[in-house]
Amino acid sequence: MKKRVLFVCVENSCRSQMAEGYARALGEGVLEAWSAGSRPSGKVNETAVALMKEDGVNIGLHKSKGLNELPAGTWDYVVTMGCGDACPALPARRRLDWALPDPKHLPPDGFREVRDDIKARVRKLAQESA
């Protein structure tokens, strides 16, 4: 059975979107991935879309969404991504906090570093969940 994982950041435009994209690509058959924001921006960051595409993952059709737009139930994992006090408590069997910088104002190489860090963490999560 797939593990339900939710990635949460503030705007649901960069970090959590990239994590959801990688979880769907790297965790296929293992992870059921979702993402949301505590204060969603309403759009996915264009640089995140471009740099994910550069790495072979298309998040261009993703939508920035709030926590109230998620399916009900308990998550196997809730992964917070640098949102601190803005991340609410959601029902989860396991909580992880990935303290990642918000890449939206970083130059492309810095943005790629955050992307690659997320990819490595998601890969490890998928392997542990298999």
Helix count (H) and strand count (E) of the chain? Answer: 3, 4
Give Dmax (Cα) for the chain. Answer: 39
Q: Which amino acid is at 129?
A: S
Q: Which of 5, 23, 87, 125 is catalytic?
A: 87
Active site residue 83: yes
Q: What is the rounded CA–CA span in Å between residue 114 and residue 16? A: 11
Active site residue 87: yes
Q: What is the rounded CA–CA span in Å between residue 29 and residue 86? A: 31
CA 116 to chain centre: 13
Q: Which of 83, 118, 125, 126 is catalytic?
A: 83
Q: Which of 5, 9, 10, 31 is catalytic?
A: 9
Task: List, in order, residues 6 or more apart from 84 with CB less than 8 Å away.
Answer: none
Beta bridge partners of 6: 34, 78
Catalytic positions, please?
A: 9, 83, 87
